[in-house]
């Protein structure tokens, strides 16, 4: 059996170790390397791509449901708005702030803020409706300074700047690639009209030809390229292509 023993140290080495400990203590008591941020009175300066509280711009939303599909925590639910479009709502009780929704948003409708202190009084309030995501939320700011973590060649230091960091960032929207839905195999269409029902912009219409055969038609001007019909088509004959 192998026995774990205390490493042998001579008297000199012990004295040196004690002296080192005391030296470090003296150094740190004068100039400590504390990395504590006194949070309500000062805030850490967050980068612009910080994954915080979400804001929403309905004008850019094409209601593609991509945010709801991609959400790993199932925090985003689409709710129907008065204009019959579907817009996301975020349940912050479930949200893990991964921001897959922001990354997947093709129109740049969802955008991030630097707000990380999201607090609610009860569970029901945590479900943030679309209307609440339109405007900047009310925040009680007590901070007078912002803190930056600076890593030099030796250690990490705090740099305190007497300025209030703005929490709302102007994100450049992603380059829009206009897409349009296209039927690639018209002969296989079974005429179930799922695409017509699912289309929120009314780009897909159907007309009955002779002998009762349905003919689907995609209006490329109205199509937003959301891809819902592509997802829902039971015959998998719809594709998104560049306009």
Partner 1 sequence: MIDINTVITGLGIAGNQVSIPIIQQMLDLLPEIPMIKLIISFILWKPFFAALICPGFTTLGILLLFFPWIERKLCGRIQWRVGPHEIVWWLGGIIQLLADSLRFLFQEVIVHKDAHRPYFLQFPFLTFIPALLPLMFIPAGNIVAIETPYAIQIILAVVCLFPLFILGLGWASNSRFAFIGTVREAFMYFAYEVPFIIAVLAMIVLYGTSDPVGIATKQTIWGIILNPIAALTFFIAAAMATSRMPFEIPEAEQELAAGPHVEYSGIAFGLIYVLCYEKAYVLAGLMTMLFLGGGSGPAIAGLGDLSGVIWFLLKVVIVLTTLFVLRAIYPRYRLDQGLSIGWSAMLSLSLIALALSIVLVLGGVI
Query: Which spans of this chain sit near partner 1 (rule: CB under 8 A)?
Result: 21-22, 24-26, 28-29, 32-36, 38, 41
Of 152 and 209, nearer to partner 1 (C-beta) is 152
Alpha-carbon distance 231 to 168, whole Å?
A: 34
* N- to C-terminal Cα separation, the chain: 75
To partner 1, the closest distance from the beta carbon of 35 in angstroms equals 7
To partner 1, the closest distance from the beta carbon of 144 in angstroms equals 12
To partner 1, the closest distance from the beta carbon of 154 in angstroms equals 15
Closest CA to 171 of 52, 6, 12: 52
Of 21 and 96, nearer to partner 1 (C-beta) is 21
To partner 1, the closest distance from the beta carbon of 174 in angstroms equals 41
Of 19 and 164, nearer to partner 1 (C-beta) is 19
Is residue 155 within 8 Å of residue 33, measured between CB atoms? yes
Alpha-carbon distance 33 to 28, whole Å?
A: 7
- HSE-up of 187 (CA within 13 Å, CB side)? 0
Phi, psi of 149 (to 5 degrees): -90, 120
Of 23 and 178, nearer to partner 1 (C-beta) is 23
To partner 1, the closest distance from the beta carbon of 15 in angstroms equals 11
Alpha-carbon distance 202 to 69, whole Å?
A: 22
To partner 1, the closest distance from the beta carbon of 89 in angstroms equals 37
Alpha-carbon distance 136 to 138, whole Å?
A: 7
Task: Specify burial of residue 186 (Cβ count, 10 A radius: 0-12, 13-18, 19+).
Answer: exposed
Of 32 and 212, nearer to partner 1 (C-beta) is 32
To partner 1, the closest distance from the beta carbon of 28 in angstroms equals 4
Enumerate residues 6+ apart whose C-beta is below 8 A from 84: 200
Of 121 and 162, nearer to partner 1 (C-beta) is 162
Of 41 and 159, nearer to partner 1 (C-beta) is 41
The residues that bridge with 22 in the sheet, in sequence order, are: none
* CA of residue 234 relative to chain centroid, distance: 30
């Amino acid at each position: 059996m192998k026995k774990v023993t205390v490493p042998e140290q001579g008297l000199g080495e012990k004295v040196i170790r004690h002296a080192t400990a005391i030296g470090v203590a003296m150094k740190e008591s004068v100039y400590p390397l504390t990395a504590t941020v006194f949070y309500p009175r000062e805030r850490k300066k967050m980068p612009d791509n910080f994954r915080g509280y979400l804001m929403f711009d309905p004008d850019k939303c094409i209601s593609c449901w991509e945010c709801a599909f991609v959400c790993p925590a199932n925090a985003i639910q689409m709710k129907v708005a008065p204009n019959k479009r579907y817009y996301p709502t975020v349940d912050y009780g479930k949200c893990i702030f991964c921001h897959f929704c922001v990354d997947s948003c093709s129109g740049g409708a969802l955008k991030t803020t630097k707000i990380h202190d999201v607090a609610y009084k009860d569970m029901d309030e945590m479900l943030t409706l679309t209307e609440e995501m339109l405007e900047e939320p009310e925040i009680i700011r007590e901070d007078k300074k912002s803190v930056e973590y600076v890593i030099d060649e030796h250690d990490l230091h705090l740099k305190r700047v007497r300025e209030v960091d703005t929490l709302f960032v102007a994100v450049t929207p992603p380059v829009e690639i206009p897409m349009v839905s296209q039927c690639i195999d018209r002969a296989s269409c079974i005429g179930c009209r799922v695409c017509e029902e699912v289309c929120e912009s009314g780009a897909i219409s159907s007309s009955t030809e002779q002998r009762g055969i349905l003919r689907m038609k995609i209006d490329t001007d109205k199509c937003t390229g959301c891809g819902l019909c592509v997802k829902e088509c039971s015959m998998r004959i719809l594709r998104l292509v560049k306009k």
